[in-house]
Structure 1
């Protein structure tokens, strides 16, 4: 009834629910549960997993105590609730955030059997990234086959009338649904043929005007994206400046809440406002509806990924600011990020919250009131507004954006997959009710398979955009020395080197031999 676009949205939402359930199972089983249930080693250098890193272990011990002193864990009920919402205070020391995990081994029933939590943390992150890649590629295989089949089975309009009908249908309801689907398929083909004829018959001057109009609109889009990036950067820096002031602790709980959510609200507001502008601009570019959907998808994806990229860039600049003290915390004019991983986790934690709140507010403050106003009031404004049509590109990009928050944020806030599962379940039923009650079937025809393929391209780009910064953090960025499972190491990847150094000598010899030219060249010759 509502077309392939709405079906694509709900199928994609269900697939994301599967992906996030798998990520949650991995993180909770191998990282969160051992941290919660198993006892840890004492604060002695002999028990550190980084035995060959005694200097870093000693520094981590000293900086951890300093970090604990700077994290308030008591206060009024109002402050405790504010900490729950913001992810600050007592929440920083829980398993919800990176800083709440130990850098030591945790033990089973006997001390002879230990569980290397830092190594498990790193391997679990790599595992959920690889699992996500597998699921994305698997989904891509099905969509690609469907698109190829659709391209190769396009028939003449007259043949489609007879070919597309399923003569096995005997139920009146299913027959009516099939008739509507065939009607939409024919509308898509006719629209594409009409567009091709218009393009073929236009004059040189008309083509030049069209390209000039598109150039101006694209320049406007680039300018809007650049302004959005600058606003996010400015807000992030200004928020850090306010939180580093000496009088910040004296602010009221409400003002503190506003400061903490300043960046999050800015990002969410931009992501809600600019897609509306993009949707209006693309209507002037002279594309078919399918092309409009895909182009809008690309622009909104650039906005959403660019917003998070600018957030990471802003915080990474603050992390690299010098001078720093012995605990790698900024001094002087540099921000005092004692646990920058938790700071990032708090940002993603708040983004997931505000994203869900924004989705709920849109449904109850815009979609339901608009439907009621248009159907109950008969005036020029209601006729101009008209009934709502489901915005395929914006809604699907909202889901991809949420998944980006999971892929990026789980490393810094391991509870984000659990939050996302709850959000997706609620969002499914909320959107279903809203679509059935508030929306009318889309009057602009398009082929869902083309949009499915473009969504896949955006999803793959989003995955790469998430995997690259995580790999950079693991291999290149020095971890915080006062918190988290890697506080005793120079880099997060050092846990792998330390673990391999504890293995038997014959295993280390094999591991050193495998990447050498003595093995790789003969292996390459045999394979060729």
Structure 2
């Protein structure tokens, strides 16, 4: 009796075999499968070559051959801007033709490092702050608005890290360790014995006066102490006067040098901030290519072909729409610039020179204003006629208030004067930030 057998090959190829002898059906079946797979491989190879010829810019055959990781090669195929049936053909072809390359020890290490970096990147994306909210903002308002909130997130992370450095190495040691006199760490020397005796007397007098001063400041609490940093706030960790010229610890062989730690943390703070800024600039550096097919690149590159959720699809629609609108505005601006006559170009150049001169005069005036206000307030505070606490408070905060008002008013003036120069949007933003 004849028997029909269906054999799946590559999830899409099915063969139908008639067997008359059940004793050797396994051998016959293996031969048929091998022949069908070989034929399927040749067919897929021909189709893959046709796809590579049809889409030479989208399909990078050299990169696919060079990639030894099957999952990474599959991801490369997914990212190609080609129709989905063509992607399916390429995927089946490369699944049948797994490239086995003998790698030496350095290539193995490189592959291991690459895999580790990918895992770390996935883990970082998993714990990224406010990622979903930023995606919603980017979908509704475009990448330009989302970049501003991403910048605020970066500032929050930088401030958190820079706060953790002095908190861990300055505030916590002062809170947890007893204070050890700084002069006890000096090496004993006969030449210093007399000087140390004099220093002990001075230290005793200073400690007595300090105790009286602390008792006096803590006996009366005023609301102005919060604004002036006086009274009980003088002994808090918020002010550098709290960190004395002493060493921490009970064992003289293991002391924590507080003054050195203070200076080291100060320089470390600025160094870390500089490194964060340089890293941010390196990530934001953009490599620009040709201008051809800009709108098609926006659509096909930004679109996630594996996305099937309705909400995410709508957000991607809105994001691509916003980017196309921005691109259209830039193209209109380029066309307008090309249509300018020589007279209009000269007028624009003179306008930019006049705006820069006015801004320079304004900045010089701002610096002079801050200097004279600070100098005048310092002179008034040295006079003994100021008995009113509110007047003293006003003069103390007058330089800070002046700087705050300048920082509030001057950027608005710069922002209103920038459109007169008629720069591009990104150039205009960079000029305003630089000023």
Class of the TM-score when normalised by the shorter of the 2 chains: 0.5 to 0.7
Matches within 5 A, 1:88-127: 88-108=230-250, 110-127=251-268
Partner of residue 376, structure 2: 238
Matches within 5 A, 1:400-415: none
Give CA-to-partner distance per residue, 1:221-255, whole Å, 9 cap, x none. Answer: 1111111111111111122112211123x213x33
Between the aligned partners of 1:221 and 1:87, the Cα distance in structure 2 is 36
Q: Secondary structure at the match of 1:215?
A: helix
Shift of 1:209: 0.6
- Kindly indicate whether structure 1 or structure 2 has the higher relative contact order, using CA contacts under 8 Å at least 6 residues apart: 1
Between the aligned partners of 1:39 and 1:267, the Cα distance in structure 2 is 40
In the alignment, does 2:341 pair up with 1:203? yes
Between the aligned partners of 2:300 and 2:428, the Cα distance in structure 1 is 29
The verdict on how the C-alpha distance between 1:294 and 1:113 changes in structure 2, with shifts beyond 3 A counting, is closer
| TM-score, with length taken from structure 1 | 0.49
Partner of residue 156, structure 1: 293
The verdict on how the C-alpha distance between 1:18 and 1:191 changes in structure 2, with shifts beyond 3 A counting, is same
8 Å Cα contact 2:299/2:320 also seen in 1: no
Matches within 5 A, 1:206-225: 206-225=344-363
| TM-score, with length taken from structure 2 | 0.58
CA RMSD of aligned residues (A): 3.4
8 Å Cα contact 2:181/2:247 also seen in 1: no
Between the aligned partners of 2:257 and 2:239, the Cα distance in structure 1 is 18
Judge which range, 238-247 or 171-180, deviates more.
171-180
The verdict on how the C-alpha distance between 1:267 and 1:6 changes in structure 2, with shifts beyond 3 A counting, is same
The one of 217, 226, 230 equivalent to 1:73 is 217
**Larger gyration radius, structure 1 or structure 2:** 2
The verdict on how the C-alpha distance between 1:50 and 1:40 changes in structure 2, with shifts beyond 3 A counting, is farther
Between the aligned partners of 2:205 and 2:420, the Cα distance in structure 1 is 58
Matches within 5 A, 1:13-92: 13-42=152-181, 45-47=183-185, 73-74=217-218, 76-77=220-221, 79=222, 81-92=223-234
The verdict on how the C-alpha distance between 1:28 and 1:153 changes in structure 2, with shifts beyond 3 A counting, is farther
The verdict on how the C-alpha distance between 1:143 and 1:271 changes in structure 2, with shifts beyond 3 A counting, is same
In the alignment, does 2:385 pair up with 1:251? no
Q: Secondary structure at the match of 1:169?
A: coil
Q: Secondary structure at the match of 2:393?
A: helix
8 Å Cα contact 1:282/1:296 also seen in 2: yes
Q: Unpaired segments of 5 or more residues in structure 1?
A: 300-528
In the alignment, does 2:172 pair up with 1:5? no
Between the aligned partners of 2:346 and 2:199, the Cα distance in structure 1 is 69
Shift of 1:76: 4.0
Q: Secondary structure at the match of 1:168?
A: coil
Q: Secondary structure at the match of 1:96?
A: coil
Q: Unpaired segments of 5 or more residues in structure 2?
A: 1-139
Between the aligned partners of 1:225 and 1:294, the Cα distance in structure 2 is 18
User: How many residues are paired up?
Assistant: 289
The verdict on how the C-alpha distance between 1:158 and 1:30 changes in structure 2, with shifts beyond 3 A counting, is closer
Give CA-to-partner distance per residue, 1:395-424, whole Å, 9 cap, x none. Answer: xxxxxxxxxxxxxxxxxxxxxxxxxxxxxx
Shift of 1:130: 3.0
The verdict on how the C-alpha distance between 1:119 and 1:64 changes in structure 2, with shifts beyond 3 A counting, is farther
The one of 102, 118, 134 equivalent to 2:275 is 134
In the alignment, does 2:409 pair up with 1:273? yes
Shift of 1:87: 1.6
